Structures are given as C-alpha cells and as structure tokens.
Amino acid sequence: MLALRKPAPAPGLVLQDVPEPGDPGAGEVLVEVAAAGICGSDLHLDDWTPGYEFMAGAMPVTLGHEFSGRVAATGAGVQGLMRGQLVAVYPILHCRQCVNCVRGDTALCLNRRALGVTLDGGFARYVRAPAANCIPLAQGLDPALGALVEPLCIGDHANIVGEVKLGETVVVLGPGTIGQAAARVARWRGASRVVVVGLRDEARLATARAVGATHSIDLASTPDVLARFRALTGLDHADVVIEATGHPASIADGQRLLKKGGILVVAGIHAAPASLDLVTLVRQRQQVRGAHSSLRPSWDVMAQRIGDEPESVRAMVSLSLPLSEALEGFARCRKRDVSKVILQP
C-alpha cells in the first residue's frame, strides 16, 4: 500500500509502497483510512525543524495523526465497533504503567507513543489502532469532517487549560487549523468575543471568522495589536489568550493583550526560546500555561459536536487530494492560502 513516510531524521518525506499492517491483534481494530489531514507539525517534520528529535528512533515511520476511517476488521475481544463503521482515531497510546499513568494522569505519560509520530499513522490505506482509541462518528458524516476531530480536541484542550468561561473574551494568536479550532471551541464554551490574530493571512482569518471568531486582526495592516484589539472590542484586555503560532515573538503580543490575572495558553510548538516580561507577569499576576495534545474525554465531546453541527466546521476543510499527491498538498499548505488539506488514501 502507498504511504507517506518520514524516512530519517533529516529534511524530506517520501511516498513509498509498504506492507499492509496485517490482521488486528486482541483489542485492536484495522481501520481503512478515509481522510487524513495535514497538520502544521507534519510540515515541521518535513522541514525537520528542532523539537522532534525524539522521533528519530522510530524512523522510518508513516505520518498522519489526524484521520478518520472505516472499521475493516476487529481483533479478539473488541465490542461496540462494527465493520464499515466510521470512526475518528485518538492517536495517543499511553503505557498505563509509569508513575503518572498509575495515578490516573495519563496526559503526562512518560512512555507515550502516537500514531503518525512514533507509530505508523494515517497517511496510508490501513492503520492498526487500539479499539479504545476509535471513536464512533455520526452515520453519514463526511469523513473529511471526521478528520477534524483531532485538531478540534487540541483546541478544546487549550480552552480547558485556559479555563475559558461563559461571557469571556478570548484572543487566539494564529489563524491556522489549531487557531481556528481553538476559536470554534471557545464559542462553544460560551466566550462572547473571540478575536483571531494573523499576519498576512487573510484567507485563514476569513475561515476563522466563518467557524466562529467574532473579530480578526491582520498585523500586516495593524502592527499595534493591542490598540486594534481595543478599537474592535471596546475592552482594555482579554481574559484568555491562546497562542497557536509557534513563533516566539507572539508570546510578547499575548502578554500585552492579557488582563491582570489572565491566562496565556501556549499551544504552539516553538523551535526557539521566547522572552517573557517577568515584571509584568509578577505584578499583573498573569499565568502562562502549556497545552499539548488532547485528552481522551474531549474526543467524545468533539465527535458529538461535529455530528450535531457539521456545517459549523466545514469551512476548515479547504482541499482534498489523493494520497498520491501528498507532496503537492504539503506545498499548498506552505502557501497559507488554505486551511485544512485532506489526503485520501
């Protein structure tokens, strides 16, 4: 079967034929992938930017951690999943043996693995996954929307870490898929104003507005982000800022936008250190929190949301391509004139 692989810890990806994964083991499901999204982290892996060295020992590996597909076969002991059923796949596998897993904090698993990162993932026709990681999706749902469950869960986790509440004002730095997802989820969580900020990124800012952002700011025309925020909202500062750019300079913008006692959530993966104004941090009692990946409970919630309101997120999907054109899809993502590009094995 054709697969998009990271062959070595160096720049570049390859499309190559690999063996099918074989029959599922006990407690496993064989999923026939229907739609797999290209993530910003996949672009970083293509470029081999700093921060992904932990993957080296797993290479060569098939990428793709945002995907949906249909159950092709089930292993012994699997219940509640039927052949042909559409599922989204939670890509994280916890060891359930380390000190953090034993105490119930699987988010901090010391030995976590991930489909599409350290285990073969969804940029191929078939993938094996634990049955417990397969979340049933609404009957008749577009599989491309099913592939959005993963980024929406990343956005949900950022909102949870930021403790976003009813009536609050949230700023999202970065209009990529994670920023769009964070904005959509913030509205679902009751935020009254959601302002998404980008730089020369009008197409993706428009998508952010289409999926729920109440305002957007393009720094190309308004370099003073705080002044523009105040003009748009009539407020001095935001309750919560979610950073989803991966650019260290954006942390300073986030801190300027944040109210006294507010929460700055850092969700982007940064290839270089960032600076913090520690005097402001201390005197304004601001909090800076990291949000990485997602938690399993979010998947049931987001799968239900997409099933109930598919049109509320459809604008996030810009383009679908066959897996054989994956490299063209990556090139299109780099132009930043699209949001989510879906590959179909």
Same domain for 171 and 282, yes or no, is yes
- Find all residues with CB under 8 Å of 273, minimum gap 6, and list them: 248
DSSP element (H, E) containing 139: none
Same domain for 94 and 166, yes or no, is no
Return the pLDDT at 242.
99
- Given 3-state DSSP classes, what are the helix, strand and coil percentages for the chain, each rounded to the nearest 5? 35, 25, 40
Same domain for 135 and 229, yes or no, is no
In a domain, 192, yes or no: yes
Same domain for 32 and 129, yes or no, is yes
Same domain for 158 and 217, yes or no, is yes
In a domain, 45, yes or no: yes
Exposure letters 138-150 (e unless 16+ CB within 10 A, then b): eeebbbbbbbbbb
Q: pLDDT of 274-330, one tens digit each?
A: 989 999 999 999 999 999 999 999 999 999 999 999 999 999 999 999 999 999 999
Same domain for 104 and 163, yes or no, is no
Q: What is the rounded average pLDDT of the residues 252-258?
A: 96
Q: What are the CA-CA distances from residue 39 to residues 105, 125, 163, 251, 253 (Å)? A: 26, 18, 25, 21, 24
Q: pLDDT of 37-60, one tens digit each?
A: 999 999 999 999 998 999 999 999
- For the beta carbon of residue 42, count every other beta carbon within 10 angstroms: 27
In a domain, 59, yes or no: yes
- Find all residues with CB under 8 Å of 297, minimum gap 6, and list them: none
Q: Is the CB of residue 86 less than 8 Å from the CB of residue 146? A: yes
Grade residue 64 by pLDDT with cuts at 50, 70 and 90.
very high
pLDDT(103) > 90: yes
In a domain, 301, yes or no: no
Return the pLDDT at 223.
85
Q: What is the pTM assigned to this prediction?
A: 0.95
Q: pLDDT of 220-248, one tens digit each?
A: 998 899 999 999 999 999 999 999 998 89
Hey, what are 234's tokens?
């009539």
In a domain, 26, yes or no: yes
Q: Pinpoint the alpha helices (H) of the chain.
A: 40-47, 99-102, 143-146, 149-161, 177-188, 202-210, 225-233, 249-257, 278-283, 296-308, 326-334
Q: Pinpoint the alpha helices (H) of 242-295.
A: 249-257, 278-283
Same domain for 119 and 158, yes or no, is no
Hey, is 72 helix, strand or coil? Answer: strand
Domain of residue 96, residue span: 2-148+313-344
In a domain, 306, yes or no: no
In a domain, 57, yes or no: yes
Share of the chain above pLDDT 70, in %: 100
Same domain for 336 and 282, yes or no, is no
Same domain for 201 and 280, yes or no, is yes
Q: How many domains does the chain have?
A: 2
Same domain for 134 and 179, yes or no, is no
Return the pLDDT at 99.
96
Same domain for 141 and 109, yes or no, is yes
pLDDT(269) > 90: no
Q: Is the CB of residue 333 less than 8 Å from the CB of residue 311? A: no
Q: What are the CA-CA distances from residue 335 to residues 43, 65, 171, 204, 338 (Å)? A: 12, 22, 24, 11, 8
DSSP letters spanning 197-209 = EESS-HHHHHHHH
Which CATH number covers residue 230?
3.40.50.720
Which CATH number covers residue 330?
3.90.180.10
Q: What is the rounded average pLDDT of the residues 103-122?
A: 95
Same domain for 37 and 122, yes or no, is yes
In a domain, 297, yes or no: no
